[in-house]
Amino acid sequence: MSDRANSQLLMEERPGSGIALLRLNRPDVLNALNLQLRHDLAAAFTRLDADPQVRAIVLAGGERAFCAGADLNEYVDATPPEIIARQMDRLWSAISDCRKPVIAAVRGHALGGGCELAMHADIIIAGEGARFGQPEVKIGIMPGGGATQRLTRAVGKFAAMKILLVGDPFDASAALAMGLASDVVSDSEVEVRALHLAAQLAALPAMSVQFIKESVVQGMNLPLNQGLQFERKSFQLLFSTADKTEGIRARIEKRPPRFGAYEH
């Protein structure tokens, strides 16, 4: 991903900040996801997850589109065996399994696979002009990147059913109202806001941030009692960290904390 002119995914790491910015770079097709871009995303998230210098990841697109969905040129003549062979589940899992907090900075279209990509993030910052939706039903298919599950968990059955079955797009204010977006700002402020939030996360104790993310994600797939048990064990383990002692002492002493580096 070093050739910026030809790369479909640009990576910008900011030394000393703890932040990595990933940018989809297929503007001519509104950042549609082809197989190469999917592989690039999986590889990038795998590498950033393993990098102890990276504390938070921002995923962005362009002004016109975060991601307009799958590249239909790769779907029109595809057969079930060909789709199975692409192992899309493994490519999506590289993103969903990332232990670092991920912020989606959404401007413009986030449709189909693009909406699903945004839902793989932990926080979604949307521009006022953003458009979300799952229009797959209108072309004779259905979501395959998690929307029937993630969208339903995010907004509830009845809102999700309307979005998935009708396929019409909706704007950022509707996304915020139903709980799909974390915040809505002007289009020009989307990435500024996302990077500022990433900087806040990067300055916090990395293990605390990781454990909170894990507890939320795991808890969504567990009965309440098991989710509470997972949270309790994670809470207890944090008492072995130096950042816990420093954070509490700093609060008692009324001074800013000096959190240390986190190593995997």
Concerning whether 253 is annotated as a catalytic residue, the answer is: no
DSSP string, 130-198: -EEE--GGGGT----SSHHHHHHHHH-HHHHHHHHHH---EEHHHHHHHTS-SEEE-GGGHHHHHHHHH
Active site residue 105: no
Active-site residue, 136 included: yes
Which listed residue (20, 116, 118, 175) is catalytic?
Answer: 116
Choosing from 69, 110, 126, 136, which is the catalytic residue?
Answer: 136
Q: Annotated catalytic residue: which of 65, 70, 147, 160?
A: 70
Please state, in angstroms and rounded to a whole number, the distance separating the CA atoms of residues 23 and 26: 9
Q: CA nearest 241: which of 263, 212, 256?
A: 263
The single residue of 61, 108, 112, 113 carrying the catalytic annotation is: 113
DSSP code per residue over 27-76: GGGTT-B-HHHHHHHHHHHHHHHH-TT--EEEEE--SSEEE--B-GGGTT
263 is catalytic: no
Which amino acids are annotated catalytic? 70, 113, 116, 136
